[in-house]
Amino acid sequence: MPTRIALVTRPAVGGIRRHLHTLISGLQQAGWEPLLLAPPDFMVEGLSVPQYPMAFSVRQSPPAHIRTVFQLTRWLQMQAPHIVHAHGLWAALLTAPATWRAQLPFVFTLHNLIPRLSAPQRLFFQWAAKRASRIIAVSEAVARTAEAVGIPSQWIEVIPNGIDPTPFLQLPSRKEARAQLSLPLDRPVVASVGRLSQEKGFDVLLVAAQRLANQPVPPLVVIAGDGPERASLAQQASSLKHVRLLGPLPSVEPLYAAADLVVIPSREEGQGIVAIEAMFARKAIVATAVGGLMETLDGGRCGRLVPPGDAVALAEAIGELLADPAGREHAIEAAFRRATALYTADRMVARHLALYQELLPKKIFC
């Protein structure tokens, strides 16, 4: 009988969704049986996994939260998975009392930097952490924010996100990619991709693009993605000649193939999966010195780091790196070696399996 693991998640896009897709695929390949408890609209494309609708939203009222805990408790008692793994702070807070009542091993992953908590929230988080057999953080930066709200460091294990590098090692040619995206061949392309939300800092990149327009050969700044800031970013970009907003893309590989440089202008970042993609795609990176981005890029050895929110510094770094082919190649090679050593899906899944097996009785190992 395969080992059954319940994966619990809140509403999520971007990093958490990508992480769960990778983890579920790896667990299935290892012979485990993952069960997904998630909001009804949470999709895991390309995988066949039993999914059970469950509401986990910070916008719910307290009575709704209590109903969710009781619903989850009943499900856990009936299904009796061998271990429960919650993803995201809010899912962890609601899963902790349910696993406590169901008397099941419980771990949770912190994917983002922990925001400022009120005193009651802090106490509840500390209580939930005590219920967990282990807490996973996707970066040292995320782990430090957990420690700052009273979680002992020995309770936390850092397991970085990993991706399947294969699509980024088999990119189309620059010419093919630019033709596919209707981008010119005769100018540098600076690419950025992600959820169009305030914390991702795309508005700062647009200000930097305005400054870069004064260069003899202005780079074309291309932004791909969707999100709540799309309309305001479109309005901001409407007067900028050297900017294109592509909207969401069916796949990001052509964008990386077309790019001379990848920019990550985030105001905050738990780790930065876009950085990992760019590292495998062998693209030079300019990013902000925030959260997990700093360790992903090895303190600036694998990419240029600038202060968050500083459009002047961002424009200068982009211009300098575009003018320095040797510097780009040096950073690209360092980044590729680091990604290969630390940020593969195989490594991430293997470390999760090792952690799970520490927590489970020997007799139920796969």
Q: Tell whether 365 is covered by a domain.
A: no
Q: Provide the pLDDT for residue 144.
A: 97
For residue 144, being part of any structural domain is answered with: yes
The pairing of strands 284-288 and 83-87 is unpaired
Q: Is there a domain that residue 329 lies in?
A: yes
Residue 365 has pLDDT above 70, yes or no: no
Check whether residue 288 and residue 255 sit in a common domain: yes
**pLDDT at site 363:** 52
Could you tell me the CATH number of the domain that includes residue 140?
A: 3.40.50.2000
131 and 255, same domain (yes or no): no
Q: How far apart are CA 151 and CA 172, in angstroms?
A: 46
Q: How far apart are alpha carbons 292 and 307 in whole angstroms?
A: 14
Distance CA 135, CA 86 (A): 10
Average pLDDT over the chain, rounded to an integer: 93
| Cα 74 to Cα 95: distance, rounded to the nearest angstrom | 12
Provide the pLDDT for residue 204: 98
Residues 186, 66 share a domain: no
| Number of residues written out for the chain | 366
- In this structure, is residue 209 part of a structural domain? yes
Residue 356 confidence (pLDDT): 96
In this prediction, residues 37-49 reach a mean pLDDT of 86
Query: Which residues are CB-contacts of 365 (< 8 A; sequence separation ≥ 6)?
Result: 3, 357
Residues 292 and 354 in one domain: no
On whether both 180 and 95 belong to a single domain, the answer is no
Q: Is position 366 within any domain?
A: no
Q: pLDDT value at position 362?
A: 60
On the question of pLDDT at 81 being above 90, the answer is yes
346 close to 165: Cβ distance less than 8 angstroms: no
**Mean pLDDT of all residues in 92-120:** 93
Q: Given pLDDT bands bounded at 50, 70 and 90, which one contains residue 60? A: low
Greatest Cα pair distance, the chain, in angstroms, is 68
Cβ of 253: how many Cβ atoms within 10 Å?
18
- Quick one: pLDDT at residue 364? 47
- pLDDT beyond 90 at 46: no
Alpha carbon of 358 to those of 98, 133, 170, 344: distances in Å? 22, 10, 37, 22
What is the pLDDT, as a whole number, of residue 98?
95
304-306 β-sheet, strand order: 243-247, 220-224, 189-193, 261-264, 284-288, 304-306
* 3-state helix, strand and coil shares in percent for the chain, rounded to the nearest 5: 50, 15, 35
Is a pLDDT exceeding 80 seen at residue 12? no
Sign of CA dihedral 35, 115, 94, 109: positive
**Do 259 and 209 sit in the same domain of this protein?**
yes
User: Per the structure block, which two tokens stand in for 251?
Assistant: 């796949």
Boundaries of domain holding 322? 165-343
Q: Say yes or no: 181 and 112 in one domain.
A: no
Alpha helices in the chain (DSSP H): 15-29, 62-79, 89-102, 119-131, 140-148, 166-169, 174-180, 202-212, 230-237, 253-258, 273-280, 293-296, 311-322, 325-342, 345-359
Q: Positive or negative CA dihedral for 124, 128, 134, 138?
A: negative
Same domain? For 155 and 184 the reply is no
**Residues whose CB is less than 8 angstroms from the CB of residue 8 and which lie 6 or more positions away in sequence, other chains included:** 37, 38, 54, 56, 72, 84, 85, 86, 87, 91, 95
Q: For residue 183, is pLDDT > 60? A: yes
Per-residue pLDDT, 331? 96
* pLDDT band of 66, cuts 50, 70, 90: confident
pLDDT digits (tens, 9 = 90+) for 137-147: 999 999 999 99
Distance CA 240, CA 105 (A): 54
Q: pLDDT tens for residues 218-246? A: 999 999 999 999 999 999 999 999 999 99
Mark whether 103 and 190 lie in a shared domain: no
CA angle (276 as vertex; 223, 208 as ends), nearest 5: 35
Q: How many domains are contained in the chain? A: 2
Concatenated DSSP letters of 100-120: HHHT--EEEEE-S------HH
For the chain, how far is it from start to end, CA to CA, in angstroms? 8
Give the confidence band of 41 by pLDDT, cuts at 50, 70, 90.
confident
- Say yes or no: 152 and 171 in one domain: no
CA-nearest of 197, 199, 203 to 221 is 203
Residues 41 and 130 in one domain: yes
* 210 shares its domain with 150: no
Residue 83 has pLDDT above 60, yes or no: yes
pTM for the model: 0.93
- pLDDT number for residue 64: 80
Mean pLDDT of 320-349: 97
Torsional sign, CA 354, 138, 29, 71? positive
Q: Which of 115-124, 166-175, 353-362 has the highest mean pLDDT?
A: 166-175
